[in-house]
A = this chain, B = another copy of it.
């Protein structure tokens, strides 16, 4: 499936698509909001070709649709409505129900599930040694799992449908499907380990907390479950971004730091926005300097977030920034960094989002506007000018776009988060919170062990959800080691489960 078409141009193209659509679409929908996208999607060619080919053996992955309850929690007129929810099963490696061989369930997050079978290499890499059944479940309102077979846009415009797009409903969906699957397979005593990355990682850890009778354990990769309410400072994310740039190249960091004023200065000149639009080859004329600044802020953020050891976009960008001779001016340096990541395109900055990313960004906007309120902002002058998070303007933006106000305290009410060690030290078990400290979202992750079985496994150099991607020969030792540790811990959970089953199960 995957050929090897000139690495560097391809790499840039994909990163470009990713970043462009992320920033532009979000800017479109919510001008006052500064929440970089989550998610584990990488440029496609970053997958190891061997593994990608293996994952693409279509007959190993069988698609099913489950007749899912629209509203698990109420008994109103629409609550009994059902919709088709997609899930995909790979039974190639499974040891079978009789042997109680485990089930690994990947929780789809804010995207169609299509790419995940290839993306989540951790599962296909390790299924054989666990003799595990692999299941990938699509999150409601994404991909082919939208009620009434609607487009997401249509579903979100219907107040009677969109309301059921929530995380608690999604978790109950996963519970129903997994219980159904075990019954169908007569695999009553096949323990389930759930797994997810980013928002999907939050779902995985919350699922273990809410549904311990369904999931034996959870691997939550890069799950910023503490980035809610007032648990951590709003600056946490962008502080990591700034620090990473500084550590990568202080001159690059300095250039970016000085660029914001320069952008504003040019913008304030006569025909300044036109000049800026020309300098940055924007796809449509800039409406304000903020539009450009927001795009750049997101670009820098994501260059750090997805700074994988195999692609090193941060170095790529800073090398380009630093490579422009001073006489060409500050903004040409910025532009060069932008091009290094995006590759040679006909235009930049504000291309409209397209394809599955458009759906992801629209759906995630709804989710952040209702419950996933990540109060992220910049209050101090670092590499970025201050841009504090303001709940009021965020609320107003959400109301004007979707007609609903956010519930900023719901996540901590339903899932907790404050005093997490105090709360969970003597409650819960079998959760791995994995992180890479290069990932700015790791600042909202669990980085300290909570107990002997609720543990934090992080690497100093890792990026966002890196550990659950597929293994590659070029992987650094620390990454290999992180994955080995995760496998070892999961084996311990299983061993205890089988011992308990023997001791006091049926």
Please report A residues at the B interface, Cβ cutoff 8 Å: 71-77, 79-80, 159-160, 162-166, 168-169, 172, 175-176, 179, 209-214, 370-371, 404-405, 409-410, 412-419, 421-430, 453, 496-497, 500-501, 504-506
Contact = CB atoms under 8 A, between A and B. Distances in A.
Contact of A75 (B214, B370, B419, B430): B370
B76 A73 contact: no
A440 B421 CA distance: 40
B422 A76 contact: no
26 contacts: A71-B74, A72-B410, A73-B74, A73-B168, A74-B74, A74-B164, A74-B166, A74-B169, A75-B162, A75-B370, A76-B159, A76-B160, A77-B163, A179-B409, A210-B210, A212-B416, A212-B423, A213-B415, A213-B423, A422-B497, A425-B504, A426-B429, A426-B496, A427-B427, A427-B430, A428-B428
Contacts of A415: 213
A500 B422 contact: yes
A179 B413 contact: yes
A73 B168 CA distance: 6
A409 B427 CA distance: 26
A500 B425 contact: yes
A505 B425 CA distance: 11
Contact of A428 (B77, B160, B176, B427): B427
Q: Which 6 A-B pairs rank lowest in CB-CB distance, beginning with the nearest? A: A76-B163, A213-B416, A74-B163, A73-B73, A212-B427, A422-B505
A213 to B, nearest CB: 3
A80 B213 contact: no
B169 A73 contact: yes
B75 A165 contact: yes
Given A211-B416, A426-B430, 11 more contacts: A71-B74, A72-B168, A72-B414, A74-B163, A80-B405, A176-B413, A209-B212, A213-B412, A421-B504, A421-B505, A425-B504
Nearest to A161: B76
Contacts of A504: 421-422, 425
Contact of A213 (B160, B163, B417): B417
A234 to B, nearest CB: 18
B75 A166 contact: yes
Contacts of A418: 213
Contacts of A209: 212
A393 to B, nearest CB: 20
Contact of A76 (B164, B168, B176, B425): B164
Contacts of A422: 497, 500-501, 504-506
A209 B208 CA distance: 11
A176 to B, nearest CB: 6
Contacts of A164: 74, 76
A163 B72 CA distance: 11
Contacts of A74: 71, 73-74, 163-164, 166, 169
A38 B404 CA distance: 40
A166 B75 CA distance: 8
Nearest to A501: B422
B166 A73 contact: yes
Contacts of A429: 426-427
A496 to B, nearest CB: 7
A164 to B, nearest CB: 6
A231 to B, nearest CB: 11
A293 B501 CA distance: 44
Contacts of A414: 72, 172, 175, 211
Contacts of A166: 73-75
Nearest to A402: B75
Given A74-B71, A179-B413, A212 B424 contact: yes
A491 to B, nearest CB: 15
A322 to B, nearest CB: 43
A418 B501 CA distance: 13
A94 to B, nearest CB: 21
Contacts of A409: 179
Given A175-B414, A370-B75, A404-B75, A426 B163 contact: no
Given A73-B73, A73-B166, A453 B425 contact: no
Nearest to A183: B409
B370 A413 contact: no
